[in-house]
């Protein structure tokens, strides 16, 4: 599979994401500067973490108007899988490709720690390889990861089973103590109704090798690869 890893001014997890694609998973990938216009030849898009455009105005607000994001809109509309991680999640929400918004952590603190995630839906490209009931242990590092959406949107997310991951404690319960940023319903990641666009605040690319203390993040990338392989086989 061929992955595009987008690169904005002040992206800082782009190299990590590319490293996982190439060296950990053994697939091909390329960094794509934000001024590029085309995603031709790519099977999937990763929008990595960082502080694109210095987080000026709002996180992700300026990045969403980059030329490459217009290509991402078209790619997503055609069903292409797009995964936004941390700042990538914020950009996808600003772009309207995902519902809701990410605002300042309730504590006002930048939180940098490991969290447990429960996978709330195993449908779609990003969660299918995660064993039923398995909690993912992933790092977070953000100041603006508090997921907000109005009540009507939250109901739609529930109805569409679009909540993919929730912050939980070690027993798998979505408690207040396990919520690092005040996200409504402990939401750590969501997808669109078509399920091909997803975003999450935790960093799977920083936890895809045992050497780094945890390899749970790899399951998310492996889910995507498995989904792409199934799609290709069906098209053949």
For this structure, is 93 an active site residue? no
Stretch that binds other proteins, among 9-17, 58-66, 124-132, 167-175 (CB under 8 A): 58-66
In the residue annotation, 203 being an active-site residue is answered as: yes
**Do 136 and 116 form a contact (C-beta atoms < 8 A)?**
yes
DSSP H/E element including 142: strand 135-142
Q: Spot the catalytic one: 13, 27, 86, 93.
A: 86
- Regarding 62 and contact with other proteins (CB under 8 A), the answer is yes
Reference 94, options 136, 138, 121, 57; nearest CA is 57
Q: Tell the smallest beta-carbon distance from residue 108 to other proteins (Å).
A: 5
Looking at residues 116 to 155 of the shown chain, list those that interact with other proteins (rule: CB under 8 A): 146, 148-150
Q: Beta strands 187-191 and 197-200: pairing type?
A: antiparallel
Instruction: Name 58's Cβ contacts closer than 8 Å, sequence gap at least 6.
Output: 94
Contact 38, 69 (CB under 8 A): no
Q: Which is nearer to other proteins, 57 or 232 (CB)?
A: 57
Which of 105, 166, 186, 223 touches other proteins by CB under 8 A? 105
Burial category of 234 from C-beta neighbours within 10 Å (exposed 0-12, middle 13-18, buried 19 and up): exposed
CB of 98 to other proteins, least distance (A): 11
Q: For other proteins, how many residues bind (rule: CB under 8 A)? A: 20
Is residue 214 part of the annotated active site? The answer reads: no
Buried b (16+ CB within 10 A) or exposed e, 22-56: eebbebebeebebeeeebeebbbbbbbbbbbbebe
Give yes or no for residue 66 binding other proteins (CB under 8 A). Answer: no
Nearest distance in Å: CB 146, other proteins = 7
Dist CA 191 CA 162 (whole Å): 5
Cβ closer to other proteins: 56 or 123?
56
User: Does residue 106 touch other proteins according to CB under 8 A?
Assistant: yes
Asked if 70 touches other proteins (CB under 8 A), the answer is no
The correct pick among 182, 209, 215, 231 for binding other proteins (CB under 8 A) is 182
Q: Cβ contacts of residue 57 below 8 Å, gap of 6+? A: none
Is position 56 an interface residue for other proteins (rule: CB under 8 A)? no
CA–CA dist 143, 169 (Å, integer): 20
Among residues 24, 61, 135, 141, the one that binds other proteins under rule CB under 8 A: 61
Which one of the spans 38-46, 56-64, 119-127, 194-202 is the region binding other proteins (CB under 8 A)?
56-64
Contact residues for other proteins, defined by CB under 8 A: 57-58, 61-62, 65, 93-94, 100-101, 103-108, 146, 148-150, 182
């Amino acid at each position: 599979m061929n992955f595009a890893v987008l690169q904005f001014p002040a992206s800082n997890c782009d190299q990590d994401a590319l490293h996982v694609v190439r060296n950990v998973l053994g697939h091909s990938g390329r960094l794509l500067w934000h001024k590029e216009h085309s995603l031709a030849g790519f099977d999937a898009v990763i929008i990595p973490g960082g502080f694109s455009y210095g987080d000026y105005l709002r996180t992700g607000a300026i990045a969403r108007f980059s030329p490459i994001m217009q290509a991402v809109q078209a790619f997503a509309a055609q069903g292409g899988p797009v995964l936004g991680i941390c700042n990538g999640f914020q950009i996808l929400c600003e772009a309207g490709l995902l519902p809701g918004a990410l605002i300042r952590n309730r504590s006002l603190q930048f939180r940098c720690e490991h969290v447990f995630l429960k996978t709330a839906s195993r449908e779609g490209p990003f969660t299918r390889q995660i064993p039923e009931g398995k909690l993912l242990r992933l790092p977070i590092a953000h100041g603006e990861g508090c997921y907000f959406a109005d009540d009507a949107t939250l109901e739609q997310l529930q109805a569409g089973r679009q909540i993919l991951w929730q912050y939980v404690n070690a027993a798998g319960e979505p408690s207040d103590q396990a919520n690092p940023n005040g996200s409504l319903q402990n939401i750590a990641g969501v997808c669109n109704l078509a399920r091909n666009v997803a975003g999450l605040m935790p960093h799977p690319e920083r936890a895809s090798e045992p050497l780094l203390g945890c390899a749970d993040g790899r399951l998310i990338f492996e889910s995507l690869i498995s989904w792409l392989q199934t799609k290709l086989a069906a098209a053949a």
